[in-house]
Amino acid sequence: MHNESRRRDRALFRYSVIREAADPSLSHAERGALVRALALREHVGPDGRAYRFGRSTLDDWIRAWRRGGFEALVDAPRVVPPRISPELLALAEQLKREAPERSAVQVVAVIEGLGGHGRLNVRSTQRHFARLGLSGPGTPAARKVHGRFEASAPNELWTGDALHGPAVGKKKAYLLAFVDDHSRLLAGYRWCHSEDSVRLESALRHGLCSRGVPKAILVDRGSAFVASPLARACAVLGIRLIHASPRAAATRSGQDRMDVTSCRSSNSTCSGSG
């Protein structure tokens, strides 16, 4: 639902603000310095407006994230006590379940036609159906990477990218893949005909199931990599998602290693799929 999406967008925004300060490897003094710096900065929210947050708010978010992960940053659904009698709402629910294709307007019309049940407006009916799951038909700039561009251990950093492959069945083929930066292992990948977030999610799931959860993922700013599904998946799993400029040295270094690894690992796949 729309409200659920907005609540999760706000949670993702909060996560992006506190992620660096929530790092468990930081000392108390280091965390305090980071929180103070965050409190002095403006942060662009999902609605495009700039916000400032006090240290106590940031500390509350960090504690919540440590206690319950990403879900702890999601606001609880707003519950407004109904001003309409429970009997009338129950009747509306019954009419909706009897014929799921009925709209809220039609349900209200049926109730008014029955008479003697009180008045029910369309908007209240729509909200009631939404709470019951009966409605409808049947990111802030991420941390830049500097310094060395090779991870010191497996699953410390994966590099994700989309590579252009050969034409298969008269269609352009793409390889969406994640490479372990330390071992050069092709952790997860998928060949496909379109470069989108659905195929990227499949490639990531393949890597997570076979190689575990990395500490960080480095990607460029391609449309599939900046889409919310990848950001939400990383937030839920506690993975640091790093977006770098396509021309940044760290990105190019990781992609060069990925080109070599993918060509070696998937050469037989390319040859066999033509």
pLDDT tens for each residue of 55-90? 999 999 999 999 999 999 998 887 666 577 788 888
64-73, 149-158, 242-251, 257-266: least confidently modelled range: 257-266
Counted residue by residue, the chain has a size of 274
**Tokens linked to 151:** 């991870």
Amino acid 255: pLDDT: 52
Amino acid 140: pLDDT: 34
Amino acid 40: pLDDT: 95
Q: 162 Cβ partners below 8 Å, 6+ apart?
A: 174, 175, 176, 177, 195, 200, 222, 224
The string of pLDDT tens digits covering residues 171-213 is 888 899 999 998 888 899 999 888 888 999 999 999 999 999 9
Residue 266 predicted with pLDDT over 60:
no
| Contact indicator for 127, 147 with CB cutoff of 8 Å | no
Q: CA quadruple 44, 47, 52, 54: dihedral positive or negative?
A: negative
Residue 253 predicted with pLDDT over 70:
no
Amino acid 76: pLDDT: 84
Chain position carrying tokens 């040859």? 271
Looking at per-residue pLDDT, the higher value among 38 and 259 belongs to 38
According to DSSP, the β-strands at 216-219 and 240-243 are parallel
Residue 144 predicted with pLDDT over 50:
no
- As a whole number, mean pLDDT of residues 162-169 equals 84
